[in-house]
Amino acid sequence: AAGHGDRYDPPTGDLFGVKPGEKYEKEGWESLWYWGVFGGFGVATVAYAFKPDTSIQTWALEEARRRLEAEGILPDPDKEPKK
């Protein structure tokens, strides 16, 4: 062995090494990790909800509408007749 000592931790029966009745103490990196991961998921969810629609179906529908308006087959919704 390389002289680093015994690498075996004998089982104690305690969940995550915390004895019953003791309070778990967080390590310094845990809060930052939780905020980073869950904050990242939150930002990604908001970004996904507000992303522009770039599907081929939406583009084709808009292009067909523009062409039909240009040919006069479909009336232009911006130029409605005055009543």
Phi, psi (degrees; rounded to nearest 5) at 81: -70, 140
pLDDT at position 30 over 80 = yes
Query: How many Å apart are CA 17 and CA 23, to the nearest integer?
Result: 11
pLDDT at position 73 over 60 = yes
Q: 14 falls in which pLDDT band (50, 70, 90)?
A: confident
pLDDT at position 2 over 90 = no
Domain hosting residue 51, numbered range: 28-71
Q: Please indicate, yes or no, if residue 10 is contained in any of the structural domains.
A: no
Q: Please indicate, yes or no, if residue 48 is contained in any of the structural domains.
A: yes
pLDDT at position 55 over 80 = yes
- DSSP state letter for 48: H
Q: Please indicate, yes or no, if residue 55 is contained in any of the structural domains.
A: yes
Domain count, the chain: 1
Dihedral-angle region of residue 22 (phi above 0 means left; psi in -120 to 50 means alpha; beta otherwise)? beta
Query: Which position has the higher pLDDT, 8 or 83?
Result: 8
Q: Please indicate, yes or no, if residue 2 is contained in any of the structural domains.
A: no
Q: Please indicate, yes or no, if residue 44 is contained in any of the structural domains.
A: yes
pLDDT at position 34 over 90 = yes
Q: Please indicate, yes or no, if residue 64 is contained in any of the structural domains.
A: yes
Q: Please indicate, yes or no, if residue 7 is contained in any of the structural domains.
A: no
